[in-house]
Structure 1
């Protein structure tokens, strides 16, 4: 058995970085930027008013109250074409360009208009209520760097930069193939010895939530012909993710058929609970086609825990993101027994107490068949191999699930 961290490193470093593709800025949220992106314009492009009020000259406001003569009007999207001279002012609204000659904004609450005379009761500080050209950014300035997963604010910024299209990493295409005669799809007739297939649904959701495209290949029955036929549909994908059949029993066919009897397999056993029978290598799809293969256990809990530990880092690596897992620290809400030689991942609830401490409390029963426990869990408590027994209140590393 190899350590979890070594298995993760081998998987991620063997997978390709996705090429760049062009998408509309309106469709770029959640995507990973493939190149540094510079502004194509200055924002704001000129000095603008930050408030509704009056544009005038600071020199005319030395003595308060000051009396000025309105000579024009400027709204956002328009401007006053003349020059503001001594003793003059222009009615201005938020976002409108500052007229030539003006260097001050008197907000409307600080002035009274009677006829053609504006009386200023309070003068602004120099530069107050004016947004200078380039306050936000300037043309040519790199504001979004390659390797950034774009947030809604990022795509709004890109639009303001006058960028209609962005270069982003193509979404990794991950083929998901469940295996086993015992499986039936949700809603299908279920035989007397069958169970409902759930881990393919959960893994596809995990892939989509982390920037990939999941391609459901269905359920392969436990025959060489059906497994080869279903797996062949993964041609053109970036990774084949199989669920079940990753061990070496007589009914576990992934190793034998897709892995070339072991010739194409890097490893197939890791020091982890749940998730020991995890396989990685290359799948032979026939006709000289092979793609990376990640074989997860068929147990739904094991598959999803492995998904968080290996599939999510794999997606991050393929997208050019940091793929290392950095655990948070919490304190254990219950005593923990000593651990054996496998790294253990305990499903747990997570709460923040009044003193600010994060408290992770493992469920009393950790049977890997109990999917409901994973749905209820907020995090996984990570126990290193050979960890000593710990009392309640001891520090523990955690991996958040939500």
Structure 2
């Protein structure tokens, strides 16, 4: 397994974002190998292939970059719908050395060849302009698909058209395909390019994607470990442990032009080979409680959700202006330092410091340095230059004295010292260094984050697509708000409440409407939802009565768990999967539905959305009420703060919807028994802690 890189020589010390390789034999992975540049990597690979051929062994050689482009590109570039012709074209036109390559210029050349406007390649990562290669997506024309069919099915992949910025793989593809073409030339007839050629030669080249076993990689990556090294070891070991029949099924793919990712669609088998003890993907019993568990404590239920759910949203790249509130999908690395060069923090006069104690007179150098209009020369020693706030400091200036502290006249500037070297200036990169990772995946992007990303030279960012969550109300007694309610009917308060809550959580709410107490109608609605959303919240029908059709259908599908949670307000919480989509069956009572959504669904949806598990923050305040609580259940009281004390709603009845509107948060009372008197400390969770 090879983790490839399109960048420059990374130096002698092992580091991330470099080239790593690992050999595994008989299920045992050798120590990962650090290869500082592509020349060394090619030599290492050629020697490995030669040794294996000489020993009469077969070799499966995996690389983590696409072997093909979206359909139509090969013919447009080479005149033939043959991906191997693209390999040859890249090898002929790519100029590469440890110090760098012409990948950006090559992308511009291809864009110019394929049409009049910029596209499909984008993101010029160099300081100079490149004809045909735009820096962003503005004006881009792409006659091909953004992603291959394989990438549309694999989470965490990136488009091959992006040449720079976070998650860019465009350079990896160009340099990687050129390498593969040269290796095939070194060993004629010995290397098969899968899936374009049958895997029946001594050496088979395959495309891999380590994220298919990301759970194992994350579990094995400890403090100080280099993730790339862990990835190649985990993937190589997994592939070498596969049973021949399993590997045969993975290789049985028809993808004549775009290529395919080995193991895609067989993640469970690949995960099992990577680590038999690794947590499995979501399956029908992913919500199953341990044997013998009846009433489930709140903390135990939360721990089960946290351990068993994983992200289900894929990535996309957006301009910064459209990324607010989205979940970051990949680390963000600074393209340049901030500040990019030393500059002045004030209006004043710059010189080479320090300045001694006492009066100082310096002749003025002609000209000035202003923000966006730097001084073009060198300031001679012993002279000063007029500088304005934010201006780049020219050579010969490292210290600035403020306007307010100087006298100017007769071509001189005078002031009183002492003044330390570097006074009133900002060092280059003192905020962010070039190449520094400034934000990690899983972060929900704020306006401040977008400002930081823009300041280090990025115009786009890789984010996760919004998690789509459907909301469905059930029951014959439910009618639409504003409609005419007959005898025994009530207005649907839950659906509008839950949809609004989801919008505040940062996911994409989808209104699935309401269905009567009709099992076939409910089945049809869930079937439709499974192709539209990635999670479902239902209200009503989640218990075990005759008309509780949500739990009944999930039970029929073999995917129901009824959690009897030791919680008040709240009844059994039905959890299950419908065609692979998690379903949270909430109580029909609005107060219980809201509390269960805040305490259980919100953090679970955060995991599914890729933002991680979110604990609400709480404050301890004096109680403005008295209550005797029995042990056994955790209780949540509708509450608000007045004069720094927590008041609770006059009634604990879960049918009192007015209490939700009255409240500003919840008072949480722990599982044990307690007698609360006014002034005693209680734990208050404001609704703002949940994003409401």
State the TM-score, normalized to the length of structure 1: 0.89
The aligned residue for residue 227 of structure 2 is none
Q: CA deviation at 1:296?
A: 0.3
Query: Which residue among 352, 365, 368 is the counterpart of 1:73?
Result: 368
The aligned residue for residue 249 of structure 1 is 545
Q: Rate the CA distance shift 1:111–1:311 in 2: closer, same or farther, 3 A.
A: same
Deviating more after overlay: 42-51 vs 314-323: 314-323
Q: Rate the CA distance shift 1:2–1:72 in 2: closer, same or farther, 3 A.
A: same
Secondary structure of the 1:10 match is: helix
Deviating more after overlay: 212-221 vs 99-108: 99-108
Query: Which residue among 553, 560, 565 is the counterpart of 1:265?
Result: 560
* 2:570 matches 1:275: yes
Structure 1 stretches of 5 or more lacking a match?
284-288, 354-358
* 2:343 matches 1:35: no
Query: Which residue among 33, 37, 54 is the counterpart of 2:349?
Result: 54
Query: Which residue among 198, 216, 238 is the counterpart of 2:534?
Result: 238
The aligned residue for residue 95 of structure 2 is none
Of Structure 1 and Structure 2, the greater helix share is in: 2
* 2:624 matches 1:333: yes
* 2:668 matches 1:382: yes
Q: Rate the CA distance shift 1:180–1:368 in 2: closer, same or farther, 3 A.
A: same
Q: CA deviation at 1:333?
A: 1.8
The aligned residue for residue 370 of structure 1 is 656
Superposed CA offset, 1:358-377 (max 9, x none): x3222221111122211221
The aligned residue for residue 427 of structure 2 is 132
Kept after mapping to 1: 8 A contact 2:365/2:379: no
Secondary structure of the 1:233 match is: helix
Superposed CA offset, 1:316-341 (max 9, x none): 22224234556543332211123254
The aligned residue for residue 639 of structure 2 is 348
Q: CA deviation at 1:2?
A: 2.3
Instruction: Name the Cα RMSD after superposition.
Output: 2.4
Structure 2 stretches of 5 or more lacking a match?
1-294
The aligned residue for residue 456 of structure 2 is 161
Q: How many residues align?
A: 390
State the TM-score, normalized to the length of structure 2: 0.53
Query: Which residue among 377, 401, 405 is the counterpart of 1:110?
Result: 405
Kept after mapping to 2: 8 A contact 1:339/1:384: no
Kept after mapping to 2: 8 A contact 1:378/1:401: yes
Q: CA deviation at 1:76?
A: 0.6
Q: Rate the CA distance shift 1:22–1:315 in 2: closer, same or farther, 3 A.
A: same
The aligned residue for residue 258 of structure 2 is none
Q: Rate the CA distance shift 1:81–1:220 in 2: closer, same or farther, 3 A.
A: same
* 2:682 matches 1:391: no
Kept after mapping to 1: 8 A contact 2:354/2:421: no
* 2:517 matches 1:226: no
Superposed CA offset, 1:278-328 (max 9, x none): 211123xxxxx3422110011111111111011111122222423455654
The aligned residue for residue 439 of structure 2 is 144
The aligned residue for residue 292 of structure 1 is 582
Q: Rate the CA distance shift 1:61–1:76 in 2: closer, same or farther, 3 A.
A: farther
Deviating more after overlay: 194-203 vs 302-311: 194-203
* 2:602 matches 1:303: no
The aligned residue for residue 265 of structure 2 is none
**Whole-angstrom CA distance in 1 between matches of 2:355 and 2:416:** 12
* 2:311 matches 1:10: no
Q: CA deviation at 1:55?
A: 2.0
The aligned residue for residue 167 of structure 2 is none
Q: CA deviation at 1:244?
A: 0.8
Q: Rate the CA distance shift 1:97–1:61 in 2: closer, same or farther, 3 A.
A: farther
**Whole-angstrom CA distance in 1 between matches of 2:382 and 2:615:** 65
Secondary structure of the 1:64 match is: strand
